[in-house]
Structure 1
Amino acid sequence: MLSAAANPARHFYCDSRVAVLLPLPLAGAYDYRVGADPVAQGDVVEVPLAGRTSLGVVWGPGSAATDPGKLRTILRRLPAKPIPEALCRFVDWVAAYTLAPPGAVLKMAISVPAALEPPAPIWAVRARPIPDGLKLTATRRKVLETAAAHPPLTMADLAREAGTGDSVVKGLVEAGALEKVALAPPAPFAAPQAHRDGPALSESQAQAAAALAEIAGFHVWLLDGVTGSGKTEVYFEAVAAALKRGRQVLVLLPEIALSAQWLGRFRSRFGVEPAVWHSELSDGKRRATWRAVADGTAAVVVGARSALFLPFPDLGLIVVDEEHDGAFKQEDGVCYHARDMAVVRARIGACPVILASATPSLETLANVQAGRYHRLHLPDRHAGAVLPEISMVDLRRTPPPRGFWLAPPLVAAIERTLAEGEQAMLFLNRRGYAPLTLCRKCGHRLQCPHCTAWLVEHRQAGRLICHHCGHATRLPSVCPECEAEDSFAACGPGIERIAEEATHRFPGARVAMMASDTVSGPHAAAEFVRQVADHEIDLLVGTQIVAKGYHFPMLTLVGVVDADLGLEGGDLRAGERTFQLLSQVAGRAGRAERPGRVLLQTFQPDHPVMRALVAGDRDSFIAAEAECRRDAGMPPFARLAALIVSGPDAGAVDDYARRLARTAPHTEGLEVIGPAPAPMALLRGRHRRRFLIKAARTVALQAALKEWLAICPAKQPLRVQVDIDPYSFV
Structure 2
Amino acid sequence: MSDDTVIAEPLMTEPAVDRRVGVLLPLPLGGTPGGIYDYRCPAHLQLQPGDFVEVPLGKRSLIGVVWQEGNGDIAANRVKDVIARLDVPPMPEVTRRFVDWVSSYCMAAPGAVLRMAMSVADAFQPPRSLTTWRCSEAAMSSAEKLSPQRQRVLAALRERPPMQSTELAKEAAVSVSVIRQMAERGLIESVAMPLPLPFGEPDQARQGPLLSPEQQYAADRLCEAVRADSYSATLLDGVTGSGKTEVYFEAIAACLAQGKQALVLLPEIALGAQWLRRFEARFGALPAQWHSELTGLERRLTWRAVLYGKAKVVVGARSALFLPYPDLGLIIVDEEHEAAFKQEDGVIYQARDMAVVRAHLGQIPVALASATPSLESLTNVESGKYRALHLPDRHGGAQLPSMHLVDLRRDKPPRSSWLSPTLLAALEQTLAAGEQALLFLNRRGYAPLTLCRDCGHRLQCPHCTAWLVEHRFHQRLQCHHCGFSTQMPSSCANCGSTGGFAACGPGVERLAEEAAMRFPETRRLVLTSDTVTGPAKAAELVRAIQDREIDLIIGTQIIAKGHHFPDLTLVGVVDADLGLNGGDLRAAERTFQLLHQVAGRAGRGSKPGQVYLQTYDPDRPVMQALASGDREGFLAAEADDRAMVGMPPFGRLAAVIVAGSQEAAVDDLCRDLARSMPQMEGVSILGPAPAPLAVLRGRHRRRFLVKCRRDVAPQAVLRRWLDGKGRKGDPAIQIDIDPYSFM
TM-score interval, normalised by the smaller of the two chains: over 0.9
Deviation at 1:134, TM superposition (A): 10
Q: Superposed, which structure 2 residues align to 1:81-480 within 5 Å?
A: 81-125=89-133, 130=138, 136-139=144-147, 153-154=163-164, 166-167=176-177, 170=180, 173-174=183-184, 180-215=190-225, 216=228, 217-480=230-493
- SS state of the match for residue 704, structure 2? strand
Answer whether contact 2:454 2:499 (CA < 8 A) is retained: no
Give RMSD over aligned pairs.
2.2
Percent identity of equivalent pairs? 60
**2:413 is paired with a residue of what secondary structure?**
coil
What residue number does 2:41 align with? 34
State the Cα deviation string for residues 319-354 of structure 1 (Å, max 9, x = none). 000000000000000000000000011111111000
Name the structure 1 match of 2:619: 606
Deviation of the 1:301 alpha carbon: 0.7
1:537-596 CA distance string (max 9 Å, x none): 111110000101111111111111000000010000000000000000110111111111
Give distance in 2, aligned partners of 1:469 and 1:141.
59
Measured in 2, the distance between the counterparts of 1:469 and 1:401 equals 35
Q: CA offsets, 1:237-268, max 9 Å, x none? A: 11111111111110000000111111111111
How many residues end up aligned between the 2 structures?
726
Paired residues of 1:188 and 1:292 also in contact (CA < 8 A): no
Distance 1:662 1:418 in 2: 64
- Asked if the contact 1:79/1:117 (under 8 Å) is kept, the reply is no
Deviates more, 1:703-712 or 1:420-429: 703-712
Check 1:369–1:128 CA distance in 2 against 1; reply closer, same or farther (3 A cut): same
Match 2:582 to one of 562, 569, 572: 569
Is the contact made by 1:448 and 1:471 (CA closer than 8 Å) also made in structure 2? Answer: yes
Structure 1, residues 249-290: CA drift from partner, whole Å, max 9, x if none? 100000001111111111111111111111011111111111
Structure 2 counterpart SS, 1:393: strand
Query: What code does the residue aligned with 1:311 have?
Result: P
C-alpha change, 1:466 and 1:166, in structure 2 (3 Å) is: closer
Give, in angstroms, the shift of residue 667 of structure 1.
Answer: 1.4
- 1:242–1:317 contact (8 Å) kept in structure 2: yes
CA distance in 2, matches of 1:141, 1:151: 17
Q: Structure 1 359/433 Cα, relative in aligned 2: closer, same or farther at 3 Å?
A: same
Helix, strand or coil: the match of 2:211?
coil
Q: Deviations over 1:291-336 (max 9, x none)?
A: 1111111111110000001111110100000000000000000000
Counterpart secondary structure, 1:138: coil
> Is the CA contact 1:678–1:688 (under 8 Å) kept in the aligned structure 2?
yes
Alignment of 1:680-691 (within 5 A): 680-691=693-704
For residues 89 and 602 of structure 1, the distance between their equivalents in structure 2, rounded to whole angstroms, comes to 49
2:40 alignment partner AA: R
Q: Tell me if structure 2 keeps the 8 A contact 1:317–1:352.
A: yes
Quote how far apart the aligned CAs of 1:187 are.
4.4
In structure 1, C-alpha distance between the alignment counterparts of 2:646 and 2:674, rounded to whole Å: 22
- TM-score with structure 2 length normalisation? 0.94
Measured against aligned partners, the alpha-carbon deviations of 1:16-40 in whole angstroms (never above 9, x if no partner) come to: 2001101100121111011233222
Offset at residue 428 of structure 1 (A)? 0.4
Determine whether 1:580 maps to 2:588: no
Alpha-carbon distance, 1:673 to partner? 0.6
The CA distance in 2 between the partners of 1:204 and 1:714, in whole Å, is 52
CA contact (8 A) 2:39 2:80 kept: yes
2:156, 2:542 → 1: CA distance? 46
Q: Deviations over 1:456-485 (max 9, x none)?
A: 000111011000001111111211111111
Q: 2:714 aligns with which of 701, 704, 707?
A: 701
1:189 shift after superposition: 2.9
Amino acid at match of 1:653: V
The corresponding residue for 2:68 is 60
**Residues 230/64 of structure 1: CA separation in 2 closer, same or farther (3 Å cut):** same
8 Å CA contact retained: 1:19, 1:31: yes
Maintained 8 Å contact 2:453/2:499: no
Q: Which amino acid aligns with 1:208?
A: A
Question: Matched residues in 2 for 1:138 and 1:454: separation?
Answer: 72
**Segment of structure 1 superposing worse, 30-39 or 242-251:** 30-39
- 2: CA distance between counterparts of 1:434 and 1:715? 37
The runs of 5 or more residues in structure 2 that have no matched partner are none
CA contact (8 A) 2:652 2:713 kept: no
Q: Is the 8 A contact 1:5 1:89 kept in 2?
A: no
Query: What letter is aligned with 1:619?
Result: E
Hey, what does 1:535 align to over in structure 2? 548
Q: Which residue of 1 aligns with 2:87?
A: 79
Where does structure 1 lack aligned partners over 5 or more consecutive residues?
Answer: none
Contact 2:727–2:734 (CA under 8 A) maintained in structure 1: no
Q: CA deviation at 1:234?
A: 0.8
- More displaced stretch, 644-653 vs 170-179: 170-179
Taking the aligned partners of 1:672 and 1:381, their CA distance within structure 2 comes to 46
Contact 2:438/2:568 (CA < 8 Å) preserved in 1?
yes
Equivalents in 2 of 1:566, 1:157: separation in Å? Answer: 53
**Alignment partner of 1:724 is 2:734:** no
Per the TM alignment, residue 128 of structure 1 is displaced from its structure 2 partner at its CA by 6.0
Q: Which amino acid aligns with 2:120?
A: V
Give how far 1:64 is off: 1.8
Change (3 A) 1:130 1:271: closer
Distance 1:509 1:171 in 2: 57
Q: Which amino acid in 2 is paired with 1:224?
A: D
- Residue 629 of structure 2 corresponds to which residue in structure 1? 616
Segment drifting more, 314-323 vs 267-276: 267-276
Q: TM-score when scaled to structure 1?
A: 0.95
Structure 2 letter corresponding to 1:695: C
SS at match of 1:39: coil
Q: Secondary structure at the match of 2:658?
A: strand
**Could you say if the C-alpha distance between residues 521 and 172 of structure 1 is closer, same or farther in structure 2, counting changes exceeding 3 Å?**
closer
CA-to-aligned-CA distance 1:90-130 (integer Å, 9 cap, x gap): 11000000000000000000000111222212234556665
Q: Does the CA-based 8 Å contact 1:21-1:29 persist in structure 2?
A: yes
- Equivalent residue number for residue 22 of structure 1: 25
The offset of 1:213, in angstroms, is 1.0
Shift of 1:664: 1.5
CA distance in structure 2 between the partners assigned to 1:109 and 1:76 by the alignment: 20
Deviates more, 1:75-84 or 1:630-639: 75-84
Structure 2 counterpart of 1:104, which letter? A
Q: Which SS does the other structure have where 2:541 is aligned?
A: helix
What is the DSSP-based 3-state SS (H/G/I as helix, E as strand, rest coil) of the residue aligned with 1:232? helix
Deviations 1:620-679 (A, max 9, x none): 000000000000110001100001100000000000111011112111111111111011
Alignment partners' CA distance in 1, 2:597 and 2:359: 27
